């Protein structure tokens, strides 16, 4: 709960800045200089950037030289998907919009009713195409369902394809190791793990080199031109180092999430938890209330002082059912009635209780007859 008494349960959208990250950013504010400058001021800034790079690399078991800092997860995804011209792109049907929009003509890997990628379909797709780049997220941002990335990587490599993994929602929630998953490119974003918004990274396996999207100077080993964002990078490094604490608390968050779902379904039996039968990270619940639009629920909960996200997106005033839930077989009505409740480092049982009280009252007022 925030100091103003409001409850924040939207960590998958953006996690509140951790105190240790604020301290790192504040320290970076005292540095002056361009990290490409060779004088003392520039060297001090360069040391701060490289220290942060090492911490981000350690989060995913990569070498620091294989970390490319970007302006966020979206840019990192675009660099991965657009960095290998000549390769056909294959993506799962439940990817983040930054992946789907980066490769609008990509072949789609279907998912089952629980939101898990169909690896037999991936095998067939790769058998029908030439050199390819496959993109499969590690954790879905709406449902929390964990994807079979290591198995997908083995299939991709058997067909001479590269495997990109958007691990933005997995960092701090699952152990990450580039080599263990066998992925060639991995995306991270600072603000999902208690770091600042506007900074991310693409991690590269040895020998993998995408063509740069941004050209200019020699920054980031000529992989991404532009003066490095010192404040964002320093905060990212601090957040990456602190992410181990989130892993240690993952069991507690899972218990909190499980309690939320059990109490919600007991109070409102018509509700449904999407992806409940699949392996999920412990901080996310996708809770559908048939007959009540997600946006209506978000607004009602906001009035009650509780912040969550809808499982559907609104673009130019037109409501659009979640492509993730549609890919899982949900119709527009069900897909448009889902909420995403996502917990994080500051979440408490009191927060969950506040959500349940407000959501249950709303469901009984607006939802189907119980």
Of the pLDDT bands very low, low, confident and very high (cuts 50, 70, 90), residue 324 is very high
Examine the domain organization and report whether 242 and 254 are in the same domain. Answer: no
Query: Rounded CA gap, 191 and 145, in Å?
Result: 20
Per-residue three-class SS string for 174-240 = CCCCHHHHCCCEEEEEHHHCCCCCCCEEEEECCCCCCCCCCCCCCHHHHCCCCCCCHHHHHHHHHHH
Q: Is the pLDDT of residue 198 over 80?
A: yes
Candidate from 77-91, 240-254, 279-293, 299-313 with smallest mean pLDDT: 299-313
- Residue 253 sits at the vertex; the CA angle it makes with 249 and 259, to the nearest 5 degrees, is 150
Say what the pLDDT of residue 366 is.
86
Neighbouring C-beta atoms of residue 321, cutoff 10 Å: 21
Say what the pLDDT of residue 315 is.
43
Report the predicted TM-score, pTM, of the whole model to 2 decimal places. Answer: 0.95
338 three-state secondary structure = strand
Examine the domain organization and report whether 38 and 80 are in the same domain. Answer: yes
Q: Which one of 246, 264, 290 terminates a domain?
A: 246
Neighbouring C-beta atoms of residue 247, cutoff 10 Å: 14
Query: Rounded CA gap, 67 and 78, in Å?
Result: 15
Examine the domain organization and report whether 111 and 56 are in the same domain. Answer: yes
| pLDDT mean across residues, the chain | 94
pLDDT digits over 33-52, tens only? 899 999 999 999 999 999 99
Say what the pLDDT of residue 127 is.
94
Nearest Cα neighbor of 158 from 126, 115, 110 is 126
Examine the domain organization and report whether 210 and 124 are in the same domain. Answer: yes
Which residues are designated catalytic?
314
Burial of 171 (0-12, 13-18, 19+ CB in 10 A): buried
Examine the domain organization and report whether 126 and 185 are in the same domain. Answer: yes
Candidate from 90-94, 124-128, 243-247, 269-273 with smallest mean pLDDT: 243-247
Examine the domain organization and report whether 223 and 122 are in the same domain. Answer: yes
The single-letter DSSP state of residue 171 is T
Examine the domain organization and report whether 340 and 352 are in the same domain. Answer: yes
Task: Calculate mean pLDDT across residues 293-303.
Answer: 95
Q: Which helix (H) or strand (E) holds 288?
A: strand 284-288
User: What tokens does 79 get?
Assistant: 């660099």
Q: Which one of 246, 261, 296 terminates a domain?
A: 246
Examine the domain organization and report whether 211 and 193 are in the same domain. Answer: yes
**Strand 313-315 relative to strand 318-320, pairing:** antiparallel
Say what the pLDDT of residue 313 is.
47
Examine the domain organization and report whether 42 and 66 are in the same domain. Answer: yes
Task: Calculate mean pLDDT across residues 54-71.
Answer: 97
Residue range(s) defining the domain that contains residue 178 = 19-246
Q: Is the pLDDT of residue 317 over 80?
A: no
The single-letter DSSP state of residue 367 is S
Count of domains observed in the chain = 2
Say what the pLDDT of residue 314 is.
45
Q: Is the pLDDT of residue 122 over 60?
A: yes
Examine the domain organization and report whether 31 and 106 are in the same domain. Answer: yes
Percent of the chain with pLDDT over 70: 96
Which residues are paired to 286 by β-bridges?
Answer: 340
1 inside domain: no
Task: Calculate mean pLDDT across residues 110-131.
Answer: 96
The single-letter DSSP state of residue 269 is T
Q: Is the pLDDT of residue 311 over 80?
A: no
Say what the pLDDT of residue 5 is.
84
Nearest Cα neighbor of 197 from 177, 168, 225, 218 is 168
**Strand 338-342 relative to strand 309-310, pairing:** antiparallel
Q: Which one of 246, 280, 310 terminates a domain?
A: 246
């Amino acid at each position: 709960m925030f100091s103003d008494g409001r409850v924040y349960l939207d960590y998958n959208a953006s996690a509140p800045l951790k105190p240790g990250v604020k301290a790192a950013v504040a320290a970076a504010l005292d540095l002056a200089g361009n990290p490409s400058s060779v004088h003392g001021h520039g060297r001090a800034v360069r040391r701060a950037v490289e220290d942060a790079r090492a911490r981000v690399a350690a989060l995913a078991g990569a070498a620091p030289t294989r970390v490319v800092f970007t302006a966020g997860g979206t840019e990192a995804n675009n660099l991965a998907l657009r960095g290998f011209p000549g390769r056909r792109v294959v993506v799962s049907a439940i990817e983040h919009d930054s992946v789907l929009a980066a490769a609008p003509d990509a072949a789609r890997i279907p998912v089952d009713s629980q939101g898990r990628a169909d690896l037999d379909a991936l095998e067939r797709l790769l058998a029908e195409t030439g050199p390819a780049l496959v993109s499969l997220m590690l954790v879905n941002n709406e449902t929390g369902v964990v994807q079979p990335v290591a198995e997908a990587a083995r299939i991709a490599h058997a067909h001479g394809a590269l495997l990109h993994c958007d691990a933005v929602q997995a960092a701090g929630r699952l152990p990450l190791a580039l080599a263990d998953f066998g992925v060639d490119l991995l995306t991270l974003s600072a603000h999902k793990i208690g770091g600042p918004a506007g900074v991310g990274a693409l991690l590269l396996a040895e020998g993998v080199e995408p063509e740069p999207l941004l050209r200019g100077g020699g920054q980031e080993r000529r992989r991404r031109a532009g003066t490095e964002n010192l404040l964002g990078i320093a905060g990212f490094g601090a957040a990456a180092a602190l992410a181990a604490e989130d892993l240690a608390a993952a069991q507690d968050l899972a218990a909190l999430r499980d309690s939320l779902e059990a109490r919600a379904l007991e109070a409102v039996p018509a509700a449904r938890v999407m992806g409940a039968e699949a392996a999920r990270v412990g901080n996310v619940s996708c809770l559908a209330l048939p007959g009540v639009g997600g946006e209506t629920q978000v607004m009602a909960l906001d009035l009650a002082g509780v912040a969550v996200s809808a499982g559907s997106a609104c673009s130019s005033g037109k409501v659009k059912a979640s492509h993730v839930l549609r890919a899982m077989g949900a119709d527009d009505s069900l897909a448009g009635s889902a909420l995403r409740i996502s917990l994080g480092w500051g979440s408490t049982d009191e927060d969950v209780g506040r959500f349940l009280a407000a959501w249950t009252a709303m469901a009984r007022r607006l939802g189907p007859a119980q």
